[in-house]
Amino acid sequence: MTSHAIQAGILGVGSYTPEKVLANKDIEKLVDTNDEWITTRTGIKERRIAGNDQVASDLGIEAGLAALKDAGINAMDVDLIIVATSTPDMHYPSTACIIQDKLGCKKAGAFDLAAACTGFVYAAVVAEQFIKAGTYKNVLVIGTEVYSRVVDWEDRSTCILFGDGAGAAVFGPVAGDKGFKATTLGSEGSGGDMLTLPCSGSRIPFGETESVNARAVVQMQGREVYKFAVRVMEEGTEEVLEKAGLAKDDIDLVVPHQANIRIIEHYAKKMKLPMEKIVANVDKYGNTSAASVPLALDEAYKQGRIKSGDNLLLLGFGAGLTWGAAVIKWA
């Protein structure tokens, strides 16, 4: 018999970003752009770039280790690892299995989850199911990305936006009224063409290297994605608050996907939320896709912006198209 009384929550968080900083001024040397344009249109000032020898699993391991330490648990205590990424080391072995091995999580199951920039929120919701069903106790969720390897550094409309990084959280049972209050996941596959990374899958045969190379980069209809983002952030918030039986004012901190400060400010204005209640670090890291929410969460936590009993709203959106929201009371 499984218990339905188990509440899942966050036991620890961590993050990692590579040392190399690529400022807007540096990008001016690569494409026809300038710091002023990038800052005004996106709020991004700089982003991190993985070292030549670093891949997604390397970044994820660092973030995962930090989250385990914060949670006060050992690698052997981990029951399941879910890695949200669109830039895995390779198709298989999964990045989750590579991390499982290197962290020494010998008792854990492991798989990758593909929901692009919404990946961490999707993975968090999956983790919650295993915990509240009583199947697993400690689930390590990692969002890790090396987008610098999949953007076209000659395309000024996309290369300015993305960055590399990783964030992680350990989910597990929590006491009292803490933990997940409500979640919602959404998809709109009809809009999939707006944001694609059409590489190395079954649609483009592996033998056709030339065409693969030509298309193995992010392709995006920026304006359409922008409109989608502001719509689903608002809809996702309304839906998850209603499910949780909470009012907007009950939310202490919103941790949204970091794609563009204008999207975040638009959301704040529409929801009539002060910017102090919203985490924004897109200026330092750009869009780190599945890593962005846990990276922002970890930063807010380290800055002392989160205390026990606070209601957090995690908000994700991205390719698929996908979106997701989760209200979590901080343990």
Ligand X SMILES: CC(C)(COP(=O)(O)OP(=O)(O)OC[C@H]1O[C@@H](n2cnc3c(N)ncnc32)[C@H](O)[C@@H]1OP(=O)(O)O)[C@@H](O)C(=O)NCCC(=O)NCCS
Residue span 146-185 as binding mask against ligand X, x where in contact by CB under 6 A, dash where not: ----------xx--x-------------------------
Structure tokens at 204: 């483009």
**236/318 with CB nearer ligand X:** 318
CB of 95 to ligand X, least distance (A): 20
Residue with tokens 């005004």: 40
Verify whether residue 281 is a known catalytic residue.
no
Catalytic residue among 97, 257, 260, 281: 257
Among residues 260, 281, 288, 322, the one that binds ligand X under rule CB under 6 A = 260
Piece of the chain touching ligand X by CB under 6 A; list 30-38, 89-97, 168-176, 294-302? 30-38
Contact by Cβ (8 Å): 80, 109: yes
Helices and strands of the chain, counted as H and E runs = 11, 13
Strand ranges (E), the chain: 7-16, 20-23, 46-49, 80-84, 109-113, 139-146, 164-174, 179-187, 195-196, 219-220, 253-256, 311-318, 322-329
Q: Which is nearer to ligand X, 126 or 220 (CB)?
A: 220
Q: Is 111 in the site for ligand X (CB under 6 A)?
A: no
Q: Does 287 bind ligand X (CB under 6 A)?
A: yes
- Least distance CB 281 / ligand X (angstroms): 15
How far apart, in whole angstroms, are the C-alpha atoms of residue 54 and residue 59? Answer: 7
Number of residues engaging ligand X in binding (CB under 6 A): 19
Is residue 11 at the binding interface for ligand X, with CB under 6 A as the rule? Answer: no
Q: Enumerate residues 221-240 that contact ligand X by CB under 6 A.
A: 222-223, 225-226, 229
Q: What is the footprint of ligand X within residues 39-58 (CB under 6 A)?
A: 41-42
In angstroms, rounded to a whole number, what is the distance separating the alpha carbons of residues 280 and 196? 25
CA angle 273-162-223, nearest 5°? 65
Residue 47 to residue 209: CA distance in whole angstroms: 29
37 binds ligand X (CB under 6 A): yes
Is 186 a binding residue for ligand X by CB under 6 A? The answer is no
Q: Applying CB under 6 A, which part among 38-46, 206-214, 244-252, 267-275 lies near ligand X? A: 38-46
Which 117-136 residues touch ligand X, going by CB under 6 A?
117
Candidates 130-138, 215-223, 240-248, 306-314: pick the segment binding ligand X (CB under 6 A).
Answer: 215-223
User: Of residues 24, 97, 105, 117, which has the active-site annotation?
Assistant: 117
Measured at the CA of 98, the angle between CA 95 and CA 102, to 5 degrees, comes to 140
Helices 292-302 and 119-132: crossing angle in degrees, nearest 10, is 80
Smallest distance from the beta carbon of 42 to ligand X, in angstroms?
A: 5
Q: Which residue, 38 or 306, has its beta carbon nearer to ligand X?
A: 38
C-alpha span between 210 and 199 (Å, rounded): 11
Q: How crowded is the C-beta side of 125, counted as CA atoms within 13 Å? A: 21
- Tell me how far CA of residue 233 lies from CA of 15, 125, 180, 184, 251, in angstroms: 24, 17, 19, 11, 15
Active site includes 266? no
Helix 56-71 and helix 292-302, axial crossing angle in degrees, nearest 10: 40
Q: Which residue's Cβ lies closest to ligand X?
A: 222
Q: Which residues bind ligand X (CB under 6 A)?
A: 33, 37-38, 41-42, 117, 156-157, 160, 220, 222-223, 225-226, 229, 259-260, 287, 318
User: What residues are annotated to the active site?
Assistant: 117, 257, 287
